[in-house]
Each structure stands twice: as structure tokens, then as C-alpha cells.
Amino acid sequence: MGCQKAIAAQIVEQEADYMLAVKDNHPTLAADLAELFTQVHDGRAPEVTVRSHETNEKGHGRIEKRMVFQAILSKDFL
């Protein structure tokens, strides 16, 4: 839910805050976002701020590490 183009467009149109999960089944979008985060990391996108959160859980004989990165785009970027 929430990853359809029409829903995302409506959210942007209403200037709401939102977070969409991007998976590899959208390869072009995933590659574009990977490039954006690379540019931020390299200092080539000063109008973008990145926040991150990480969790580590152990259970069922394995350790699961989850990392979430949030790109906060300034109005100048858009």
C-alpha cells in the first residue's frame, strides 16, 4: 500500500510528508535512489539531508540487521 504512482502523486500534490519503500522490483527507481545517496555521501548533493536508523535482532538462529535511510529533500532540490 502506498507505492502506487497515483497515490504517491496525490501525496506530493497535497504537500504531505511520506515514506515509500523501494524494492528491486522497481529497478530504475532503486538505481536512481542509490545514485542520490551516493551523491549525498560524496558531498555532491548539499540540498539533501540523510537520516538513518538501524536495528539488530537475534532470533530463530540468525541475526537480523535492518537499516533505514531517509533522504530529506529541500524545496530547492525539487
- Cell reading at 72: 530529506
Kindly report, residue by residue over 29-62, the tens digit of the pLDDT.
899 989 999 999 899 988 899 999 999 999 889 9
Question: What pLDDT does residue 3 have?
Answer: 56
Residue 78 to residue 13: CA distance in whole angstroms: 13
Closest CA to 45 of 75, 69, 78, 77: 77
pTM metric for this prediction: 0.62
Sequence spans of domains, the chain:
20-73
Average pLDDT over residues 62-77: 85
Question: What pLDDT does residue 64 have?
Answer: 95
Please name the residue ranges forming H helices in 1-78.
5-13, 27-41
**Contacts with 2 (C-beta within 8 Å, 6 or more apart), sequence order:** 8, 18, 20
Residue 9 to residue 50: CA distance in whole angstroms: 22
Share of the chain above pLDDT 90, in %: 36
